[in-house]
Homo-oligomer: A and B are copies of this chain.
Amino acid sequence: MQSKYHFYTIIMKKQKKFVLTDDQVPTQWYNIQADMPNKPLPILNPATREPLTVDEMSHIFARECCVQELDQEHRWIDIPQEVLEKYRFYRSTPLVRAYELEKALGTTAHIYFKNESTNPLGSHKINSALPQCYYCREEGTTNVTTETGAGQWGAALSYAAKIFGLDAAVFQVRISMSQKPYRSSIMRTFGAVVTGSPSMSTRAGKDILTVDPQHPGSLGTAISEAVELATQTPNCKYTLGSVLNHVSLHQTVIGLEAEKQMEMAGEYPDVVIGCFGGGSNFSGIAFPFMRHTFSGEHPNTRFIAAEPDSCPKLTRGVFHYDFGDEAGLTPLLPMFTLGHSFKPANIHAGGLRYHGAGTIVSQLLKDGYMTGVDIPQLESFEAGMLFARTEGIIPAPESCHAIAAAIREANDATAKGEERVILFNLSGHGLIDMTAYEQYINGDLQNYSLSSETIAANTHDLP
């Protein structure tokens, strides 16, 4: 017994969890646009094909968000005091060394994850929901609309709207709504009105259902409906949970914290990984580290975005101007895209079922600062199960993609005998996604292969 206790004393010296004190939590967001060697191409007004202005954009979004969207100058943006106060309810989030996962893999790699699942909404989405609602309230807006896939963003937005005194209307992707009914209840508990998309309550929804009455919905259809409602409701703005630059900006609190925490751990990541839908959590973990790539201080860090192989815009999409939504109501974005009419397979990672990548990430991918990997659904859940049984946290199906990519990297490092330092973002927990795990355990899930013909068919006539 004596020797065993001695052993565990040694184990405890290997610190597992790194937490910042309140005064170490970042007070500014990092605007990567200021440092990018090639700036993102401009967002275009589809009617004129001229670069979109803050004035045009702020018909839909809070004005301050539009200013941030187009800001290519200021490297650091102050987080408003009141947002900072709300952040501190749940931030900093822990950085964790995944010793148990490492042991199960028998790997020579060091695996760290940033745990964004610890807040009461269960994902990183709250990091942008709070400032967006704050700016809306400051500008006199009373109502907000949004889209949501799996419901992580919708839940965060509903809560943020409630605490800033706004009324929220959420369009949730129909297939996700039936896969994860609890998420709609969470939004309603916070007081939001929730509608499945495509719905008959908007012109865009009616048009989509006319063509395909069984349309399962996608982030693209839900965005169309939410934007339409925002433009037709007095004193109402639209909010978005991913894709756009200002959303990525708000999410940089993740990476800025992680940077300080990795310092506490005495290591710097060789690889930084996030799962990828529209880009918000990937950007959040990656951008702050990427500034040291630009500066030459850490030129060899690799940045990997893990997407589902059934929705592979980064690895198999084309770089082109495209609409952000299915109905073509948004401005034109320069993006890696599968085409705005692409219908993703009904995988459980609802947050990754989106046809395009944000403009910043698209430019970074084009310039070789990052790469994409595509993960089959079964591999993602296999990774999620191993993570749950070792680290004790059931990950969101989206986050399972990041874990799978981290495991691939760890196994590669082991094969090469390298002590590779891997950092991934655990974007959320999967407690509302237990149906998916139940199906995986019962052998009822499948992979969805995507033919080159399907991709070509959806991308041959982009706007």
- Give the Cβ gap from A257 to chain B, nearest Cβ, in Å: 15
Q: Is A12 an interface residue (CB 8 A)?
A: yes
Interface residues of A in 158-193 (CB under 8 A from B): 159, 162-163, 181-182, 185-186, 188-191
Of the candidates B12, B120, B390, B393, the one whose C-beta lies within 8 Å of that of A429 is: B120
Q: Mark A425-461, 1 if CB is under 8 A from B, else 0.
A: 0000101101101100100000000000000000000
Of the candidates B9, B81, B85, B190, the one whose C-beta lies within 8 Å of that of A388 is: B190
Max count, chain B CB within 10 A of own CB: residue among A11, A432, A438: A438
Max count, chain B CB within 10 A of own CB: residue among A16, A120, A159: A120
- Give the Cβ gap from A96 to chain B, nearest Cβ, in Å: 8
Q: Is A63 an interface residue (CB 8 A)?
A: no
Of the candidates B9, B96, B120, B385, the one whose C-beta lies within 8 Å of that of A189 is: B385
* A120-B438 CB under 8 A given contacts A8-B81, A8-B82, A189-B385: no
- Contact call B16/A437, Cβ cutoff below 8 A: no
- Contact call B437/A185, Cβ cutoff below 8 A: yes
Q: Is A389 an interface residue (CB 8 A)?
A: yes
- Give the Cβ gap from A383 to chain B, nearest Cβ, in Å: 13
- Give the Cβ gap from A403 to chain B, nearest Cβ, in Å: 14
- Give the Cβ gap from A1 to chain B, nearest Cβ, in Å: 8
CB neighbours of A100 from chain B (8 A) = 163
- Give the Cβ gap from A164 to chain B, nearest Cβ, in Å: 12
A182 (CB) vs chain B CBs: closest residue: B434
* A392-B82 CB under 8 A given contacts A120-B117, A431-B182: no
CA distance A409 to B85 in the complex (A): 28
CA distance A64 to B159 in the complex (A): 45
- Contact call A438/B185, Cβ cutoff below 8 A: yes
Interface residues of A in 2-29 (CB under 8 A from B): 5, 8-9, 11-12, 16-17, 19, 22
* A431-B159 CB under 8 A given contacts A85-B12, A189-B394, A385-B189: no
CB neighbours of A96 from chain B (8 A) = 89
Q: Is A74 an interface residue (CB 8 A)?
A: no
CB neighbours of A121 from chain B (8 A) = 392
- Give the Cβ gap from A59 to chain B, nearest Cβ, in Å: 23
CA distance A345 to B456 in the complex (A): 59
* A392-B120 CB under 8 A given contacts A12-B84, A100-B163: yes
CB neighbours of A431 from chain B (8 A) = 122, 182, 186, 431-432
Interface residues of A in 169-219 (CB under 8 A from B): 181-182, 185-186, 188-191
Q: Mark A316-339, 1 if CB is under 8 A from B, else 0.
A: 000000000000000000000000
- Give the Cβ gap from A350 to chain B, nearest Cβ, in Å: 16
* A185-B434 CB under 8 A given contacts A8-B82, A81-B8, A163-B100: yes
Interface residues of A in 83-117 (CB under 8 A from B): 84-85, 88-89, 96, 100, 117
- Give the Cβ gap from A343 to chain B, nearest Cβ, in Å: 28
CA distance A101 to B109 in the complex (A): 46
CB neighbours of A17 from chain B (8 A) = 22, 88-89
Q: Mark A131-171, 1 if CB is under 8 A from B, else 0.
A: 00000000000000000000000000001001100000000
A440 (CB) vs chain B CBs: closest residue: B189
- Give the Cβ gap from A451 to chain B, nearest Cβ, in Å: 33
Q: Is A414 an interface residue (CB 8 A)?
A: no
Q: Is A118 an interface residue (CB 8 A)?
A: yes
- Contact call A186/B434, Cβ cutoff below 8 A: yes
- Contact call A5/B81, Cβ cutoff below 8 A: yes
Of the candidates B9, B190, B385, B390, the one whose C-beta lies within 8 Å of that of A81 is: B9
CA distance A435 to B189 in the complex (A): 11
CB neighbours of A84 from chain B (8 A) = 12
CB neighbours of A185 from chain B (8 A) = 434-435, 437-438, 441
A-B contact pairs, 23 of them (CB 8 A): A8-B81, A8-B85, A12-B81, A17-B22, A17-B88, A89-B392, A100-B163, A120-B392, A121-B392, A122-B431, A159-B392, A163-B392, A181-B434, A182-B431, A182-B432, A182-B435, A185-B434, A185-B435, A185-B437, A188-B441, A189-B437, A189-B441, A431-B432
